[in-house]
Every structure is written in structure tokens, then in C-alpha cells.
Structure 1
Amino acid sequence: MTEVLSQDEIDQLLTTISQGSGSSTEDIMRTPIEAKRNRSIKIYDFKRPDKFSKEQIRTVSIMHETFSRLASTSLSAQLRALVSVHVASVDQLTYEEFLRSIPNPTALSVINMDPLKGSAILEIDPSITFSIIDRLFGGTGESSKINRELTEIEVAVLGGIVVRLLSNMKEAWSQVIELRARLGQIETNPQFAQIVPPSEMVILVTMETKIEEIEGMMNFCIPYLTIEPIISKLSAQYWYASVRRGFTTENLTTLKEKLSRIHVDIVAEVGRIDVSMRDIMALKVGDLLRLPNTKASDSLILKIGDRSKFECRPGVVGKRVSVQITHKLEEIHSEEFNELIASDREDD
């Protein structure tokens, strides 16, 4: 069979001839051909097949980066401490390898991944687990080398934390599936958490977790059998298409309805005057305040919140005192609008 040389092999052949190595033409031609045949071969283990593509792993990483941000905020609020969670790695391995990589005892939460079939595992490092429990019991959450199983009370307390994290996970997965994750049970011995056969492939999301000065890992293990029904949705194209589909007419209508129920203070300002506290305390019914540099024919300033937005003139509509807007002073920027909404919520 005639061998066809690539451009790189042709360049290598010409370079060898120009250097005058003294070898025969046949030997020179044989060199690149043999190099091509002796290329390193990637070994494929049929007992440990790769079931997740790089794109799918990247999508899972993006999903759990969102989960990490939500979890950081949620745990910080509940523990009254600075909590940082971020994705360290996303790997595929066998379930047996995962069990061997975690300490014993530890906190293994078996998660029902409804509507997906099967379960997943959320493993929290003992240093993080006992720091959380210590803070919830009123302690400082300082690092202590505790190597024991959780008591029944500690399991119940940790269960509340896991349920809170699952609500964050539901939001992070919402672009792919309406996940209704539920806590099954909490195990401390990895050998008692056999949710799939040892040789089954899983995807492992490792998240570095830090509570003040305490550092540890939080691992989320999802078997391939559980995630297989939505594996086609774990692509960048589907992910970004889902994000764009989020801005629908229905959502915009809902947003407008919610905005229409927000109350903002509007004040028509006639004028301003500086008055001392002594004069204010001496005011009584019937006193007149003279507004300097203000004429009766001047326009009033209509203020939204503490911002002057419009010029207006006073009048009467029916039996009610009113103002008519005559001129716009400035645009309401989105940042200012958000501040108004936030202040209104605080008042409520």
C-alpha cells in the first residue's frame, strides 16, 4: 500500500536531505513513515468509559457555579458569617473511586433527584460540617479536629442546612429541568450509601468551601444513570437558548404587573426656605413663611423619591388639588429606579 506523506513529513524529509546526513533516500523516507506509525496511542478502558463530553462537563460546571454563588449567600445569611463556595473541579469517575476519595466518617446526604430517576450524593467535609453545627449551636465555629459520627441532633440540624442548599440547587438547574430535589437520609459511613453499582460512572462536582477561616470540600456526586435523560440538554447551545427563552412575553407581563404594585413617593415642591430651629418651635397657626426667589407664577418641582424629575404647575381637577407636568428635567436611570424599589420594600 502506497504511503502518503503529510506536509510536515515532506518538510522534515527536505530538511534532512539539505543537511546531508549521509543516509540513503530510502532510510530518510522510512523515518517519517515509521514515526507516523509509532505515534502514542491513547488507551481506552472499556471498564471505565468516558460518558460525558467536555462540553457537557463545562455546562455542569456553569450550573454549579451558579449554585455556588447562591449557596454562599444563603449560608452567609444563616450562619451570620462570611461563607465562600466555588467550583474547584468537575470530573467523571467510577462510584467506587468516589467513595474511596472521601473520609470515613463523613456527612453523606442521599438526594432524591425527582423527576429524574435515582439519587445523588451531597458530601460535606467533616471540618465544614462541625463548623456549621457549632455556629448554629451558638459557638464560634472554630476549627477542631473532630473525628466521630454525627449524633441524632446534629443530623437533624445538618438536614436543615441541606434542605436550604437543595432550594439553591433547584434554582441553578432551572434552565435545564424543573428539579424537585428532596433529602432522603444522611449517612456517616460511605459503605452504607450504595446508590449505584461500584463500577457505574458518575460526574463529581467538587466545591471548595470556606467559612471564615475554616476550609473544606463539598462534593456533589451524580450518577450517569440519573442524569442520562437530560444529557442532551447539557450543551452550551441549549443552555444559552434556554437563557434567551427566559425573556418571554409572559414573563414581561408578569414583571409589569409586579412593578405596577410598587408605591413611590411623589412630592410637588413649592419652594425652599432656611429656618432656624427656634423659629420652627415658635410657629403657630396663621403664621406666614415667605419663600425667597419664588414667584406665584413659577413652576413647581415634582420630585420622585429624593430626585427632581419634572416641572409642573398647580391646579384643580374636579374637587381635588392636582399638578400638571409641563417639562421633564432628567431621565430616570435603572440604578435610581432600583434604589427606589429597594427603599419602598424596606418601608413595607
Structure 2
Amino acid sequence: MDQVLTQQEIDSLLNAMNNGEIVEEKTEKKEELKVKSYDFRRPTKLSKEYVNTLHMIFEDFSKVSSNVLSTLLRSNISFNLASIEQVSYDEFIHSVPRFTLLGLFHSEPLKGIQILEMNPQLCMLIVELLCGGTDNGKQENISLKEKDSFTDIELILLKEIVIEMTKIYENVWKDIIELQTEFDELDSNPQLLQNMSPNEPVVMITFTVRIGDVDSFVNICVPYVFFEGLTDKLSFHNWFLIYSQKYTRYPSNTCFTR
């Protein structure tokens, strides 16, 4: 039961408050600040909508690469898109092996140098298949313990594969923009590359590659300057218009005759 105060007790409380003996406590609810964490080492320049469009573009890249590499290597190649991340160039360099294959190329009229990185183990398996070897799935046959560079013959063979993949890269962009992709050079030491500043934002596209029982990775590094002036074309609305035009090129009542 609630306690009932007498009139004398009420007067005493009011006098105590007036004299400052009792201070009224005011509780104010502080609004919680909505703060989002931001990692300056992983800059996000492209919105989620644009990244979703990139997913569709590089899904096509993975499908075409599977077919082309399977034909060139005469083996069953599984090439799948794994992830698309926005990172700094320095983070990309430190995420790849110290000894690896780096194919540098550019795509006119857009800016920046793009990099195709292939794991050395995958490279040696590709060389073996190009030289007439068979896909026996024995990963231990490819030893890289004492290898720190590619031979001239290996580079010639791998260069052809890189050039074919740059052609695929050019082809998957054709619905959005016409590119003229040109191969520049091969390198094997990412620490010596100085074509970008360490803090420059890039988009890193990672693919998983499976040949027999051997699993490996291929990365494509695209600088943000490549996307400048291109972001409007990466919108979902523009992508929808492209495909609607492609599939409605012929009216439904069109009659084809032999």
C-alpha cells in the first residue's frame, strides 16, 4: 500500500526544497549518437549498387574464362568469382605472394593500370598443361620451394594466357563501354611495382580456380580512377536498360523464315 503523507509532511518537504536542502534530480535521456566505424585502410568509394553491377560483370568474366582456359589447356577448368573488395593498393600488394605472376595492362579510354595476379603454383600447372602434361591432380608434383623467378620459356607461355584474359576483360565490359585493352608487361615481384601510391583506393576482384585437385586463386586489381566518369553507367537502372534493349531487339511478333 502506498504511503500517504500528511499535510504537515508535505509542507516540510516544500520548505526543504525552497531552502535548497533537497535538490530535484532531473534525468535527461541522451540521444545515442549514430556512429559508423570507418577503416581508412579499406576505403569505400563505390556504392553497394555499383558493386552489385560489378558482380554481374565479373560473373560473366569467370564463365568466359572457364571456357577459354578449358579450351587452351585441354583440361576441365573451374573459374568462379569469389569476392569483390574495396581496399588500398598497399593492402592488395601485401595480400599476394612475394613471388607471383603480375600481368599489367591498361584499357583506353579509361585511366589507370589494371593488374592480373596469378598464383605461381597455378602458373606452373598451366605451363605443364601447355607443354603437353596431363591433369593428374597431383598437387605435390609442382614444387616451388627453390623457385623465385620464371624462365624465359615459362614467361612466353604465361604471357599468352594473360593476353587472352585481357581480351576477356575487354569483352565483358562491351555492354557498358567499349574498351581497347592493351597488354603492357609481366612482372613477378609485387614489392617493386610503383605504378600506384600505397594509399590509392582499388577494387580487388578475387576468383577461385580449380584444375583437377589443385585449388588456387586469381586476382584482378582495378584502381578507382578507372571508374571515374563510369559510375553512372554502373547504376542498376542503366544495366536494366542495356539488357532490356538486348532481349527486345526483335518484336515478339517477328516471324523468322528459312
Aligned to 2:153: 153
Higher-RCO chain (CA-CA 8 Å, sequence separation at least 6): 2
Checking the alignment, whether the CA contact within 8 Å between 2:43 and 2:86 is kept in structure 1 is no
Q: Which residue of 2 aligns with 1:178?
A: 178
Name whichever of 139-148 and 178-187 sits farther off: 139-148
Change in 2 beyond 3 A, CA 1:71/1:192:
same
User: What corresponds to 2:234 in structure 1?
Assistant: 234
Aligned residues: 227
How far off its partner does 1:40 sit?
A: 5.9
| Offset at residue 170 of structure 1 (A) | 2.0
Cα RMSD between the aligned structures? 2.5
Determine the structure 1 residue equivalent to 2:12: none
Q: Aligned runs of 1:1-348 on 2, under 5 Å?
A: 26-27=26-27, 30=28, 33-34=29-30, 36-37=31-32, 39=33, 41-44=35-38, 49-141=43-135, 142-143=138-139, 144-146=142-144, 147-247=147-247
TM-fit CA distance, 1:47: 6.9
1:54 partner amino acid? K
Give 1:245 deviation, angstroms: 2.3
| Structure 2 contact 209–218 (Cα < 8 Å) conserved | yes
Partners in 1 of 2:40 and 2:213 — Cα distance? 43
Counterpart AA for 2:81: V
d(CA) in 2 for partners of 1:226 and 1:195? 14
The C-alpha deviation readout for 1:101-147, integer Å capped at 9, x for no partner, is 00011000001112212210000111211111111111235422314
Contact 1:61-1:205 within 8 A present in 2 as well: no
Letter in 2 for 1:191: Q
What runs of 5+ residues in structure 1 fail to find an aligned partner? 1-23, 261-348
Q: 1:137 to 1:91 in 2, by over 3 A?
A: same
Shift of 1:55: 1.0
Could you tell me how far apart the structure 1 residues matched to 2:121 and 2:54 are? 26
AA matched with 1:223: P
| Gap change, CA 1:211 and 1:48, over 3 Å in 2 | closer
Output the CA distance in 1 between the equivalents of 2:97 and 2:49.
Answer: 30
Q: Could you say which structure has the larger radius of gyration?
A: 1
- Does the aligned pair in 2 maintain the 1:108–1:193 contact within 8 Å? no
Mapped partners of 1:47, 1:99: distance in 2: 13
Q: Secondary structure at the match of 2:203?
A: strand
Secondary structure of 2:69's match?
A: helix
Contact 2:82 2:206 in 1 (8 A): yes
- The alpha carbon displacement at 1:45 in A equals 5.2
TM-score normalised by L of structure 1: 0.60
**Distance change (3 Å), C-alpha of 1:195 and 1:248:** farther
Question: Could you say which residue in structure 1 is the equivalent of 2:16?
Answer: none
Q: CA deviation at 1:241?
A: 0.9
Instruction: Please give the alpha-carbon distance, in whole angstroms, between the structure 2 residues aligned to 1:182 and 1:237.
Output: 30
Q: Are the aligned partners of 1:110 and 1:120 in contact in 2 as well (CA < 8 Å)?
A: yes
Cα distance in 1 for partners of 2:48, 2:81 equals: 16
- TM-score, normalised by the number of residues in structure 2: 0.80
Segments of 4+ moved more than 3 angstroms: 24-27, 43-49
Q: Per-residue displacement from partner, 1:37-94 (whole Å, max 9, x unpaired)?
A: 2x46223456754211111111111100001000001111111111011111100010
SS of 1:133 mapped into structure 2: helix
Structure 2: unaligned runs, 5 residues or longer: 1-23
- CA distance in structure 2 between the partners assigned to 1:139 and 1:46 by the alignment: 46
Residues 272-323 of structure 1 deviation map (CA, whole Å, 9 limit, x = unaligned)? xxxxxxxxxxxxxxxxxxxxxxxxxxxxxxxxxxxxxxxxxxxxxxxxxxxx
Amino acid of the residue matched to residue 166 of structure 1?
Answer: T
